[in-house]
Structure 1
Amino acid sequence: MSGLPPLPRASQPQIIRAYQKDLFYNFFLREESENVLRSIFGTRWLSKWDKEVELFTKLLYYGLTTLRGLQSLGEEYVDIRPISTKNRRLPNLKLRAAMLLLPTLPSYLISRFSRNLPLDPEGRVSRFIRAVPNFLEILTEINLATFYFSGAYYSLSSRILRVRHMSSVSVNPNFKPPSYSFLGILLSIRLLNRLYNLVHQYLPALSTLSASSPSESEPNLSTETYIDSEPISSLVPTPAQLANSTEDPWGDRTVLDLGTIDPEVRVGQRKCALCLEERTASSVTECGHMFCWTCVVGWAREKAECPLCRQSLDLARILPVYNL
């Protein structure tokens, strides 16, 4: 196959609209697939295999379009085509397979298996694997900011594979396409803010570790978990607060007066499924189950899934409940 004749490069609005259309159709396909699977297997099964359903719908959508060498619905909408910048040809089968798998498979593997990997004695492997999604997110934002300035490679995978979009629509010399540089500036400011927060979060921990070795009674800062830049250890109630089960450590933030409730009724309705005692510092997971704060945090550190329904559990998404 000979090289393609000279074609104008796709403009930023064309590329953005194409990706937005693909995202819409992919979301629609996933939503319909979830409705069918939910009616067959139930909500609990769907919650357990939600990552696989998301991966399947992406592979199905782009497998029927990109992998076959056809335009996706978004590309067809704005009349653009991807080409390889190395030889100015349409992508071959290997490159199309890479365009399909690179944006989908690594993110799925990381999200599904990162929390189930065995820990080494110092926890370095676990910390590294859990830092990969944040690192990829930062790289994606850097690439997007670069796209807003340069107008090339909207996705990180297309930049890695050196695949650009060309337009079949002739360019009007009298029309100047809009610029998205202002969005690039805003995104750059956000990236600088994230960098500042990371330095502000980890620099004190590193300086403390270099100054003195941690004792058994102090939390290990190298393995500390943070929620909104606050360490988990500072949010967990102290043993003195938990000594009296009739006192809720967050009692000053609730209108519930535990002393006025019959003890048998109170314990029966406020029992934690992990410690089998009355809940203290009640907290709720994304799936709607309530536990003691210390119980669910300890459980999530060992196994990142709800102990009742086995849905994935994220420490940053556990919420306090003040009035129950």
Structure 2
Amino acid sequence: MSDFAPSFPYAQQAQIIRSNQRDLFHVSSLREQTEGVLRSWLGTRWLSRWDKEIDFLVKTTYYAMTTGRATQTLGEEYTDIWLHSAGANAIPSLRARAALILIPTLPRYLASRWGSTLPQESKLASLLKKLPVALEILTEANLAVFYLRGTYYTLAKRILGIRYIASGPDDPNSRPPSYSLLGILLSIRLVYQLITYLRSLKTHGDSELARGKRPSDEIHETFIDDQPVSTFLGPINPEGDVAVPAEEDERTILDFSRIPDALRAGRSCTLCLEERTASCATECGHLFCWNCIVGWGREKAECPLCRQSLSLTKLLPVYNL
């Protein structure tokens, strides 16, 4: 491959964009199928608890079975392009391919999973909370450069010096489309976001100094009488608690010894598939365990049954159902 790679032209922007869109479609489809199987086996509550791990495993598996094995992904096969290490003038090494898989996935997973579980005042927690925003900005900046110059579609490929080559020659009679306008628009958007952010910092700092109030910390915590609001919200991961039997539920007035088994069978929570405890009702009238719906609502602001908007501040505890 290294002897013949220079004779192949670099892939065009349109080929790279179509390849990436195709891969995103297949990864999304694979995740939906995986979630469907796991939901039928283990229930929605388990799926909601481990959704970040599932997303990470699906992406790494897809690219490990293709990029990791030095073969084309489905998107690359669709557009007939190949990965090519510009520095080595050959197929990317195993180490480079492993980095190409982990750089876009591992930092985001660590930030989303562990950022909220660490002590709020720790510097590591603050860093992990800022990491997704920083990665998003860097990704957009890299994409703007790609639209302007046509090289390195992802930030990981730019870091590793990996480009795409096409297996067929360029057509001298066709003119490839230009995406420069998209690059200019993205650049303008990034500059605007930077100016807005700097202005907000200056305004916030001036107002804090003028009023002598407690400055917000790095995670923008809100305080009520010197107590962080987060301490009033209960555990960060309530759906990870051990399920409590209905007979031990302290948040109900029901006497389960007098309830027929047929009626108790209808008290199951559709998230954990177990008998409800600490029952609560959503605005749309559906009943769930308190921990189940709070854990779900922190991830998705919609009812898991009817998809109506869900507000955790409007959940209604129910003690007699």
State the 1:208 CA deviation: 4.3
Contact 2:297-2:311 within 8 A present in 1 as well:
no
Within the candidate set 211, 220, 223, 1:225 is matched to 220
Structure 2 gap segments, 5+ residues each: 225-281, 303-309, 317-321
CA distance in 2 between counterparts of 1:194 and 1:308 reads 35
Contact 2:115-2:125 within 8 A present in 1 as well:
yes
CA distance in 2 between counterparts of 1:316 and 1:220 reads 29
CA distance in 2 between counterparts of 1:193 and 1:124 reads 28
Aligned equivalent of 1:98: 99
Contact 2:45-2:292 within 8 A present in 1 as well:
no
Aligned equivalent of 1:313: 298
Structure 1 gap segments, 5+ residues each: 227-231, 235-282, 292-305
- SS at structure 1 position matched to 2:55: helix
Distance 1:34 1:207, change over 3 A: same
Taking structure 1 as the reference length, what is the TM-score of the superposition? 0.68
Alignment of 1:221-300 (within 5 A): 221-223=216-218, 225=220
Alignment of 1:192-203 (within 5 A): 192-203=191-202
Alignment of 1:23-62 (within 5 A): 23-62=24-63
Aligned equivalent of 2:158: 159
User: CA offsets per residue over residues 101-151 of structure 1, 9 Å max, x none?
Assistant: 11111111111101111244xx54433321111111000000000000000
Aligned equivalent of 2:11: 10
RMSD: 3.4
User: CA offsets per residue over residues 63-97 of structure 1, 9 Å max, x none?
Assistant: 11110110001001011001111021001111111
Distance 1:14 1:42, change over 3 A: same
The amino acid of 1:64's aligned partner reads M
Aligned equivalent of 2:168: 169
Aligned-pair identity (%): 42
User: CA offsets per residue over residues 145-199 of structure 1, 9 Å max, x none?
Assistant: 0000000111111011110000011101121100001111111121122112212
State the 1:307 CA deviation: 7.7
CA distance in 2 between counterparts of 1:82 and 1:112 reads 31
Residue 150 in structure 1 maps to residue 145 in structure 2: no
Aligned equivalent of 2:136: 137
Count of aligned pairs between the two proteins: 251
CA distance in 1 between counterparts of 2:125 and 2:287 reads 27
Aligned equivalent of 1:77: 78
Contact 2:2-2:89 within 8 A present in 1 as well:
no
Distance 1:137 1:312, change over 3 A: farther
Distance 1:17 1:51, change over 3 A: same
Contact 2:86-2:161 within 8 A present in 1 as well:
yes
CA distance in 2 between counterparts of 1:314 and 1:93 reads 36
Distance 1:127 1:11, change over 3 A: same
Moved more, 161-170 or 95-104: 95-104
Contact 1:82-1:90 within 8 A present in 2 as well:
yes
CA distance in 1 between counterparts of 2:100 and 2:12 reads 20
The amino acid of 1:103's aligned partner reads P
CA distance in 1 between counterparts of 2:300 and 2:61 reads 32
State the 1:311 CA deviation: 3.8
The amino acid of 2:298's aligned partner reads L
Moved more, 17-26 or 193-202: 193-202
The amino acid of 1:207's aligned partner reads D
Contact 1:205-1:222 within 8 A present in 2 as well:
no
CA distance in 1 between counterparts of 2:219 and 2:112 reads 20
State the 1:221 CA deviation: 2.8
Distance 1:224 1:23, change over 3 A: closer
Distance 1:119 1:143, change over 3 A: same
Distance 1:192 1:290, change over 3 A: farther
CA distance in 1 between counterparts of 2:22 and 2:182 reads 20
